[in-house]
Structure 1
Amino acid sequence: MASATTLAIVIILLTSLMFSAFFSGMEIAFVSANRLKVELDKKQGGLASRIISKFVDRPKRFIAAMLVGNNVAMVFYSLAASELIIRAVLWLGNSTSWGWVTWLDHTEHYWVSMLVRTALTTILVLFAAEFIPKAVFRVNPNRWLNIFALPLQIIYFILWLPAAFVTGLSNVFIKLLFKAEDEEEVSFGKVDLDHYLQLAVGNVDSEEELDHEIQILQNALDFSNVKARDCMIPRNEIIAHSLDTDLREVTLTFVETGLSKVLIFRDSIDNIIGYVHSYELFKKPENIKEILLPVAIVPEPMPANEVLAILIRQKRNMAVVLDEFGGTAGIVTMEDIVEEIFGEIEDEHDSEELEETQLNEHEFLFSARHE
């Protein structure tokens, strides 16, 4: 049992198992890695980062190389494990009086013996070369890729030709069977950017310390989830006039509030028919109808990016937001939507009138509009 041949088989088995674990770990690390961080590390000029960046540019070929390497390692592992189990059974049969060993080694029970060998080798490879390495390499995958960048470059160079063949063959089958064209490979996408920003946000103690550019990027990523109701001015804060209002009263409203636009309704605030811009008053109109401008109408659940597209397409600056009953829930302006990305935009007419009062040691009074 302790012969040189058996020792060589054990070495082959352990080596192939180690390589299989390495390929499995590198595969899951590559899939889980943050592509944006790879590109940012590349800008710093590190050798490992430049190597990994090349792999990121051709992900299909890298994955194919890892799969080819894993399959080759599995072939050697299977041959070595099968031979080692046969030798172990023979040795146990000759050295012990265990009946089940003799029964298992009998020719008539070949299929049972094969099932036992398959079960043992499968359990070993699942834990040692799949579950454990993938669990380890999934944690901080970018770091693992940088650590093994040079070995990966050597292995990739060796397996480049078979990996290219496998990739090309798979593309041919996909085109023939599914009539699909090759999709453009994207180095990193929205998910990678979001992951990177989450890491950046998690490393600061408070929102005040967060870099302004990072906050803008985070807001831009979250913008698709913002609804019209999230950025609208609520109904009770709307300043509007009836269609029959005297122009002198409208002019006074512009002067007192500093607003550039005032909504106009017919009969009630639930029937807004347009708005008046302050510069239209210089045309000396006789009544509001002569200078009334149309306003866009949007529902509360509409995404803010769609509202912005409507305002741009219709060349409007303001939209009325309707609730589920068709009544006016509020209004949203282009400025309100842009502020969801870039933060508060203040001008000379903005005034902060939010309540911030400490009543006692444990009680405070804040306006509900505080964010």
Structure 2
Amino acid sequence: MEIGIIILCLILSAFFSGMEIAFVSSNKIYLEIEKKQDDFISKILAKLTQKPSKFIATMLVGNNVSMVVYGFFMGDLLMHWFATFGYQFSDLTNLLLQTTLSTLIVLMTSEFLPKVFFQIYANTAIKVFALPAYFFYWLFYYISSFMLWISDFILKKFFKTEGDQINLSFSKTELGNFITEQMNAVEDHESVDSEIQIFQNALEFSGVKARDIMTPRTELVAVDLHSSIVDLRTLFIETGYSKILVYFNSLDDIVGYVHSFELFKKPRSIKSVMIPVEFVPETIFIKDVMSLLTKKRKSVAVVLDEYGGTSGIVTMEDIVEELFGEIEDEHDSDEALSEEQIDHKNYLFSTRLDVEYLNETYNLGIPESDSYTTLGGYIVDFSKEIPQKGDQITIGNFLFNIEEASNKKIELVKITIID
């Protein structure tokens, strides 16, 4: 019977400590949605979360009661076992042994493991165990209410602060996490509502920097300021772009851009129809770039590196695409970035793919750093040179085979995971 009571106390302690951490770790938006469901569990959740501090206080009271009963019976049981096996210790040694053994058992069975489990599956646990939690909520209702009254009295009397004032609103992070969880739960064959995708993009929008979406320097198309209008017209026809950058001597000195509509004015020189550009650092957030371009009524910003050289450009279209998704026009190329999983150990990727995206999609575990954002940047940052076609580079447990490359950049790489 003693062993049964001890096991029951450990189970109850695990339940109370687990529910406490589950309530704190659960997504508040998930709870609000569950509370809106018209069923029995939703009503229970609504009552449990009506006063969060009282629920947590109830779990603490239950946990302490369980531990007191556990300590009483566990001490007697250990003393009985010591006597049965003929061990005789002093009172101090007995106390130390009882405390050590009892604490180890409690930490493993009722504290560490339950809290890890309940924290990982917080949303599910808070819903599954809502009914027993509600039972103990009312069982210890008056005790927890009395303890809260004492704590509020002390806070108001001695610390001059308000008592139980807990903000029930949810944060932007919780909203983003909830939407991400729902997006990850969607099967590959199911389509995601475009409004949901836009909503998720909007939540991530404030954390995106210019260097994350810019067109890199190597892909810029530009014309010299002193070139002729004929050369400019030819470049418009060859590229199909609506805007062409204008530089003075080199790409590190971009002075503006020309819109194709300006050619209808039959200008005599490029300078007469050139529109000045704005300059921004790589680390600026695109929300700030958007605000700057809107105020200046411009559509192109030149992104500068830490040395003041041209790193790339960001257009208003790039920023809008980050929010609403890819916008295709008649001049966009149908060629997409290569992205193929050959088998569970071999992949074929374009080096322009972001390292963060590859880690999230394929769980590769490629190290991320502020020194680079793309796969090509990672390889160059490690090798300190631009590899050529046919080269093999081993970095950690990855073998990179350079499939396509030029003297300026890597285009395509095959990744093999090494055991």
TM-score, shorter chain, exceeding 0.5? yes
Match status 1:45 vs 2:38: yes
Specify the alignment match of 1:4 in structure 2: none
> In 2 relative to 1, CA 245–55 (structure 1 residues): closer, same or farther, beyond 3 Å?
farther
Matching of residues 50-89 of structure 1 within 5 Å: 50-52=43-45, 55=48, 58-85=51-78, 88=80
Pick from 24, 30, 33 the counterpart of residue 26 of structure 2: 33
Gaps of 5+ in 2: 339-347, 355-419
**What is the CA distance between 1:248 and its match in structure 2?**
6.6
> In 2 relative to 1, CA 269–11 (structure 1 residues): closer, same or farther, beyond 3 Å?
closer
Structure 1 Cα separation of the partners of residues 102 and 350 of structure 2: 67
The one-letter code of the counterpart of 1:338 is V
Aligned-partner SS, 2:246: strand
Match status 1:307 vs 2:289: yes
On the 8 A contact 1:37/1:196 being kept in 2, the answer is: no
Pick from 299, 304, 308 the counterpart of residue 326 of structure 1: 308
Structure 2 Cα separation of the partners of residues 322 and 335 of structure 1: 19
The one-letter code of the counterpart of 2:97 is V
| Number of residue pairs matched by the alignment | 343
Of Structure 1 and Structure 2, which has the larger fraction of its residues in helix?
1
Q: Which has the higher contact order (CA 8 A, sep 6+)?
A: 1
> In 2 relative to 1, CA 11–270 (structure 1 residues): closer, same or farther, beyond 3 Å?
closer
On the 8 A contact 2:304/2:311 being kept in 1, the answer is: yes
TM-score by length of 2: 0.65
> In 2 relative to 1, CA 186–162 (structure 1 residues): closer, same or farther, beyond 3 Å?
farther
Specify the alignment match of 2:94 in structure 1: 113
For residues 116-154 of structure 1, give each alpha carbon's deviation from its aligned partner in whole angstroms, at most 9, with x where no partner exists.
322233233223322343344345332322222122223
**Structure of greater Rg:** 1
The one-letter code of the counterpart of 2:27 is N
The one-letter code of the counterpart of 1:272 is I
Structure 1 Cα separation of the partners of residues 7 and 43 of structure 2: 32
> In 2 relative to 1, CA 281–48 (structure 1 residues): closer, same or farther, beyond 3 Å?
same
On the 8 A contact 2:252/2:310 being kept in 1, the answer is: yes
* Identity %, equivalent residues: 42
**What is the CA distance between 1:26 and its match in structure 2?**
1.2
**What is the CA distance between 1:48 and its match in structure 2?**
1.6
On the 8 A contact 1:354/1:369 being kept in 2, the answer is: no
Specify the alignment match of 1:360 in structure 2: none
Structure 1 Cα separation of the partners of residues 281 and 70 of structure 2: 63
Match status 1:122 vs 2:122: no
> In 2 relative to 1, CA 256–71 (structure 1 residues): closer, same or farther, beyond 3 Å?
same
Specify the alignment match of 2:130 in structure 1: 149
Structure 2 Cα separation of the partners of residues 203 and 23 of structure 1: 33
Aligned-partner SS, 1:270: strand
**What is the CA distance between 1:28 and its match in structure 2?**
2.7
Structure 2 Cα separation of the partners of residues 215 and 138 of structure 1: 27
Matching of residues 354-369 of structure 1 within 5 Å: 354=335
For residues 174-202 of structure 1, give each alpha carbon's deviation from its aligned partner in whole angstroms, at most 9, with x where no partner exists.
99779899674433541563265246325
**What is the CA distance between 1:343 and its match in structure 2?**
1.7
Structure 1 Cα separation of the partners of residues 78 and 235 of structure 2: 92
Specify the alignment match of 2:173 in structure 1: 190
Specify the alignment match of 2:257 in structure 1: 275
Structure 2 Cα separation of the partners of residues 204 and 175 of structure 1: 56
> In 2 relative to 1, CA 117–338 (structure 1 residues): closer, same or farther, beyond 3 Å?
same
Structure 2 Cα separation of the partners of residues 366 and 12 of structure 1: 60
Specify the alignment match of 1:339 in structure 2: 321
The one-letter code of the counterpart of 1:186 is S
> In 2 relative to 1, CA 184–273 (structure 1 residues): closer, same or farther, beyond 3 Å?
farther
Specify the alignment match of 1:200 in structure 2: 183
Structure 1 Cα separation of the partners of residues 153 and 203 of structure 2: 33
Match status 1:17 vs 2:13: no
Structure 1 Cα separation of the partners of residues 72 and 182 of structure 2: 45
Of Structure 1 and Structure 2, which has the larger fraction of its residues in strand?
2
Q: Which deviates more, 177-186 or 134-143?
A: 177-186
> In 2 relative to 1, CA 85–240 (structure 1 residues): closer, same or farther, beyond 3 Å?
closer
Structure 2 Cα separation of the partners of residues 171 and 284 of structure 1: 82
The one-letter code of the counterpart of 1:240 is A
**What is the CA distance between 1:20 and its match in structure 2?**
1.5
TM-score by length of 1: 0.72
